Amino acid sequence: MPPRVKIVGPTVPMSLPSKAGVKKAPPMQAFRASKIAEERAATSGKGAPAPASEPAPAPAPAPAARAEAAAPSLVTPTVAAAAAAKAAASSKRPEKKKIDTSSKRFKDRERKENGGSRMLNLSTQEKIQFSKHLAVMLEAGIPLREALEIMFEESSSKKTKRILKVGIDDLSNGFALSSTLEKFPRVFNSFTVNIVRVGEASGTLAKALKYEAEDLEKSHELIGKVKGALTYPIIIFVGALGIAGFLSFSILPKLIPVFGAMSVTLPPTTKALLASSTFLRKYWYLVLGAMGVFVGMIMVAWRIRPVRFALESAILRIPLFGKLMGGVQVARMTRVFGTLLSSGVQIVEAIRVTAKTTENLVYKRTLERIAVDVERGEEITNQLAKEKRLFPAIVTGMVKIGDRTGKLSESLVTAAEFCEKEVDNLTKTMSTLIEPITLLLVGGLVGFIALSIITPIYNLSSGVAK
């Protein structure tokens, strides 16, 4: 009877793998594991001795362990390649979507291709028409992109069409209208961009555009009144300079040889006028060059913020003109501030946007400081009361009442209307005062030149009569 072979290892019954092991292994792996288990069971049942040339078999691991160990070798290269390709495709999809919608490089490329330019500008009337027409079509229920397409077809301005083209392309790529307006900072300021953004978020874009158009109309009308008050005196003064130049450079030089031949003594006024006329005729290029340098220095100095701040602060201290300029600034600021609050912008953000739209550096810095104080918890009325030179007491009182009653936006609009009426009255008063002053200056200039020319002629005629 042959000796029995003792198998060293854990006493595991040689049976088929459990269901849990089958579920973990693939079908081919489970089949291979079951065949190995059957061969082991048949060999141990017969009790056949192992050949002398072959070493004793190693301890058999558990079926589940054998299945897990054999799993990597059962994956074919085709299946692995297909899985890798699927994983690579799924990983590329979100990256492509991210590049198409939110990549900075994509936005810059789109801006360049669509023609977004920082130098493009529109007139105030074109801006008003843009906002009004778009608001009317949105109120009529026309979708935003279709409204822009209609405006593109009906517009006759190349600049407006350029902006509309960029807007249509941006909407097709998933961008908002406010992002389109940001590409044209010289056309749409911070006030317009923010009020459109709030309108898009709240679903009241048509209402926001109407507010923006009304603000543009009021500001344009206000500035037009100030320009109208200054136009007439400027025209009169320029006309007087033209007449004086004609008499000095054309008439007087022809009379000087006559006066010299007749040995007429020239009065001091004629000598001064003749000397200035001779100097300007000989060195006119130096005079024009000096004037150009002076104007250039003023323009350069105006771009330096400390110098501009000092100049604007000095202008605001001029008795009548300073009050007029301050009234214009307060009227525009209160209207913009009230419009932003009516559109749903938070008070601190509204103050900051108002500061960005303000051109006067004195008011701009004041509003920036007020925004910081209000963000810390201070009341806006207390901050306005500290700047009595910039904000009239009646405006501060209206803001205080609106803040207490919860109707701050309405109070600001009322204050803007009050300031606009005050500016209108100031322009009329200034026109009434400037016209006689201008006439006096013009009359004095023309009279001086006429006297300088007529006096020698009178002396000459008197000498001839004697």
Mean pLDDT of 396-425: 88
Mean pLDDT for 352-366 is: 89
Burial environment of residue 19 by CB neighbours within 10 A (0 to 12, 13 to 18, 19 or more): exposed
* pLDDT tens readout for residues 131-168: 999 999 999 899 999 999 999 998 888 888 899 999 99
Asked if 381 and 399 touch (Cβ cutoff 8 Å), the reply is yes
Q: Would you state the torsion angle of the CA atoms of residues 211, 213, 219, 222, taken in this order, to the nearest 10 degrees?
A: -110
DSSP for 277-341 reads HHHHHHSHHHHHHHHHHHHHHHHHHHHSHHHHHHHHHHHHTSHHHHHHHHHHHHHHHHHHHHHHH
Average model confidence (pLDDT) across the chain: 75
Helices (H) and strands (E) in the chain, counts: 21, 0
What is the H or E stretch that residue 203 is in? Answer: none
Residue 216 CB contacts under 8 Å (≥ 6 apart), including other chains: 124, 127, 128, 131
Question: Exposed (0-12), middle (13-18) or buried (19+): which is 280, by Cβ within 10 Å?
Answer: middle
- Most confidently modeled of 67-71, 99-103, 126-130? 126-130
Inter-residue contact 185 to 357 (CB < 8 Å): no
State yes or no: pLDDT of 293 exceeds 90: yes
The more confidently predicted of residues 215 and 68 is 215
> What per-residue confidence (pLDDT) applies to 309?
92
d(Cα 121, Cα 184) in Å, to the nearest integer?
8
Between residues 244 and 50, which one has the greater pLDDT?
A: 244
What pLDDT does residue 448 have? 84
Nearest to 147 by CA among 128, 123, 130: 130
Give residue 41's pLDDT.
59
CB 157, CB 126: distance < 8 Å: yes
Res 341: pLDDT? 87
For residues 33 and 70, the answer to whether their CB atoms sit within 8 Å is yes
- Does residue 398 contact residue 385 with C-beta atoms inside 8 Å? no
Round to whole Å and give the CA distance between 38 and 46. 13
pLDDT of residue 16: 45
- Distance separating alpha carbons of residues 1 and 3, to the nearest angstrom: 7
Whole-model pTM: value is 0.60
pLDDT of 265 strictly over 90: no
pLDDT at residue 72 in the model: 42
Interval 338-345 mean pLDDT: 83
pLDDT-based confidence at residue 245 (cuts at 50, 70, 90)? confident
> Does position 363 have pLDDT exceeding 90, yes or no?
yes
**What is the CATH class of 208-466?**
mainly alpha
Q: How confident is the model at residue 294 (pLDDT cuts 50, 70, 90)?
A: very high
Q: What confidence category does residue 387 fall into, taking pLDDT thresholds of 50, 70 and 90?
A: confident
Q: Are 106 and 99 in contact (CB under 8 A)?
A: yes
Q: What is the pLDDT of residues 421-438, one digit of tens each?
A: 888 888 888 878 887 888
Segment among 146-150, 213-217, 223-227 with least mean pLDDT:
223-227
pLDDT of 104 reads: 52
Domain with CATH 1.20.81.30 in the chain: 108-188, 208-466
Architecture of domain 108-188: Up-down Bundle (1.20)
Band (pLDDT 50/70/90 cuts) for residue 369 is: very high
pLDDT tens string 85-113: 544 544 444 443 433 434 555 455 545 54
Position of tokens 């006559």? Answer: 258
41: left (phi over 0), alpha (psi -120 to 50) or beta: alpha
Kindly state the average pLDDT of the residues 297-325.
88
Q: Which of 429, 439, 433, 454 is nearest to 239 (CA)?
A: 439
For the record, the structure tokens of 283 come out as 């060195």
**What pLDDT, on a 0 to 100 scale, did the predictor assign at position 28?**
53
Distances from the Cα of 292 to the Cαs of 105, 203, 230, 287, 297, in angstroms? Answer: 44, 53, 23, 9, 9
